[in-house]
Amino acid sequence: MFIYRARVFDTPTDPFSGGSLRSESDVALVVDDGLIIARTDFASATADHPDAEVVDLRAGVLIPGLIDTHVHYPQIRAIGYLGKPLLDWLDHCALPEEAKLGDHDYASALAGEFLTGLTSAGTTSAMVFGSHFATAMDTFFTQAAEVGLRITSGLVTSDTILPEPLLTSVERSVSESQDLIDRWHGKGHLRYAVTPRFSFSAGQELLAAGGQLVADNPGIWVTSHLNENRDEIAGVAEKFPEALDYLDTYDRAGLLNRQTILAHNVHPSDRELARMAEVGAASAHCPTSNSNLASGFFPLRRHIEAGVRVALGSDVGAGTGFSLFKEGVQAYFMQQLDPSGGLPLSSAHLLHLATAAGAEALELSDQVGDLSEGKRFDAAYIQPTAGQPLAVGLEHASSDDDALAKIFAMGTPADIAQVWVDGRLVKG
């Protein structure tokens, strides 16, 4: 049993619905076997639990573990290619890298690098866009289980457009996916997600086969891409003339429900937003990727007003790194600049998007997303080196909201000293 004495920031009430930052300068979290059994003052905690080990974290700031709702395992070595729109970036940067994961040793090395990237950035839960190779997914799930992160992921499937090594058949996709589901879904903190790359590279039969997997395996997830780039959208419309729109290609296949997270959605129609809200599907907002690939301004206001759930994604490797602090501040910038009228964001909004909103999108709100009594202890401890800009900023912040804004404006993975998942230290 541990007592974590800390300055704690979290957002148990949604700032988009009138909530605000919950900040306490000196609070005690009593953690027993990974569960927060009390959130109280230090004197009460030590009186009630005199034998607990005390961990004093008041020199920094403790926040909930960060939650990334869209990040690509095979693309860690593709980070940093600039100056290309989506389809050119895929052809010249991402897909050649992804084809290399057919080699076991290469896939294993990437899995280790990728998981280190997540933990270093304070990310404790993630919807991970997987590999086209079943062997690479076995390797990834094996290593993710050892690290202990809360991972939802699956075999990526395509049967057209892409380079031949990345293509599959309907029969093979079903067989390999079902084997991975049987082996990994529900094991520890792991869950499976049916993952068509996007409708542009997946025919109707392949999409429908994924929908049948969802029907046959209650509890598994779905993730893919949606409305990221106008050329991509035009290509999907040409390929699926019978569909109402891009979203409808997934809906017709049985891939749209409350356990569906669709990345980007930069250019949605009103009908698509209404349908997403109706079924409870969520959007993963990936700000640095949208900027890097010049995909456009994410219509956050339209999503919120339509009732569509939104959380942050790093979109490594079109995104520029694993840090959700960077994604949060980029979301702020883009909303400030959106010529159609962005949604003004406070630091509490940014923390919510990076934590509790991700937990809600991943249906993990009963376990993680804030540091309340009854939740699991997934947390990141921010303690910048003395004299560094963030340390100076925190020392001189005018309020807790200001301190949190400085964390998003200046924070990097180097400022995250310790990270816990389910009470287990995974960094530091």
Binned at pLDDT 50, 70 and 90, residue 297 comes out as very high
Q: What token pair was written down for 333? A: 């910038």
> Measured between alpha carbons, how far is 87 from 201 in angstroms, rounded to an integer?
11
Q: What token pair was written down for 198? A: 């996007």
Taking residues 137-146, what's their average pLDDT? 98
Q: What is the pLDDT of residues 80-115, one digit of tens each?
A: 998 899 999 999 999 999 999 999 999 999 999 999
Residue 236 has pLDDT above 90, yes or no: yes
Residue 238 has pLDDT above 90, yes or no: yes
Taking residues 204-215, what's their average pLDDT? 98
At residue 83, the pLDDT reads 83
Q: What is the pLDDT of residues 379-422, one digit of tens each?
A: 999 999 999 999 999 999 999 999 999 999 999 999 999 999 99
> Measured between alpha carbons, how far is 50 from 174 in angstroms, rounded to an integer?
54
Q: What percent of the chain shows pLDDT beyond 70? A: 100
C-alpha 282: how far from chain center? 11
pTM of the model: 0.98
From residue 153, alpha-carbon distances to 100, 138, 186, 188, 337 in Å are: 19, 11, 12, 13, 33
Mean per-residue pLDDT over the chain, rounded: 98
Say which range, 12-16, 83-87, 165-169, 319-323, has the weakest mean pLDDT: 83-87
At residue 164, the pLDDT reads 97
> Measured between alpha carbons, how far is 347 from 23 in angstroms, rounded to an integer?
12
Taking residues 24-44, what's their average pLDDT? 98
